[in-house]
């Protein structure tokens, strides 16, 4: 068994994707009153899911990127930010981030005990 396997790498990628997603949501919320602003989002889950079965190097190659969300409804002033959508996305993303960190922490604890560090 590798010390840092696909799961470990995948969790790390998910963590950085989730952090970038928070950045995009923060930008959307900051621009809630900016006319013509289009909401941005980060979709790393689908790429990560596809790469997971292909091994560690494929997972490592997943690079989350910010892109403009073309599906969001556009308001009268040309902005596509809906504060309720952003709040929901933010809560969801925060919880996902917390879940990933918890799993990472538990895995680290197991590794530590296997190595013999308390």
Partner 1 sequence: MGLFDAIDVTGSGLSAERLRMDVTAENLANAQTTKDASGQPYRRKEVVLQQAGTSSSFGTVLQNAMGGTSAVRGVQVAGIVQDSTPLKRIYDPGHPDADKNGYVTMPNVNTVTEMTDLISSSRAYEADVTAMQTAKQMFTKTLDILR
Contact of 89 with 43, CB cutoff 8 Å: no
- 114 lies in the binding site for partner 1 (CB under 8 A): no
Would you give the DSSP letter of residue 55? Answer: -
Of the candidates 89, 90, 93, 69, the residue with the CA atom closest to the CA atom of residue 80: 69
What residues are paired with 40 via a beta bridge?
Answer: 68
Rounded to the nearest whole angstrom, what is the least distance from the CB of residue 83 to partner 1 in the complex?
Answer: 6
Contact of 83 with 33, CB cutoff 8 Å: no
- 5 lies in the binding site for partner 1 (CB under 8 A): no
Give the one residue of 30, 88, 111, 114 binding partner 1; rule: CB under 8 A.
30
Instruction: Tell me which residues touch partner 1 (CB under 8 A).
Output: 15-16, 18-20, 22-27, 29-35, 37, 40, 65-68, 70, 83, 86-87, 90-91, 93-94, 97-98, 101, 104-105, 108
């Amino acid at each position: 068994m590798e010390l840092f396997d696909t799961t470990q790498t995948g969790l790390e990628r998910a963590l950085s994707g989730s952090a970038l997603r928070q950045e995009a949501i923060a930008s959307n919320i900051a621009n809630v009153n900016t006319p013509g602003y289009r909401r941005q989002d980060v979709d790393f889950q689908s790429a990560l899911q596809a790469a997971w079965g292909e091994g560690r190097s494929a997972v490592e190659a997943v690079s989350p990127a910010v892109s403009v969300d073309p599906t969001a409804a556009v308001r009268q002033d040309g902005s596509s930010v809906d504060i309720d959508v952003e709040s929901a996305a933010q809560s969801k993303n925060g919880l996902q981030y917390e879940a990933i960190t918890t799993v990472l922490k538990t895995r680290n604890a197991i590794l530590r005990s296997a190595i013999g560090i308390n």
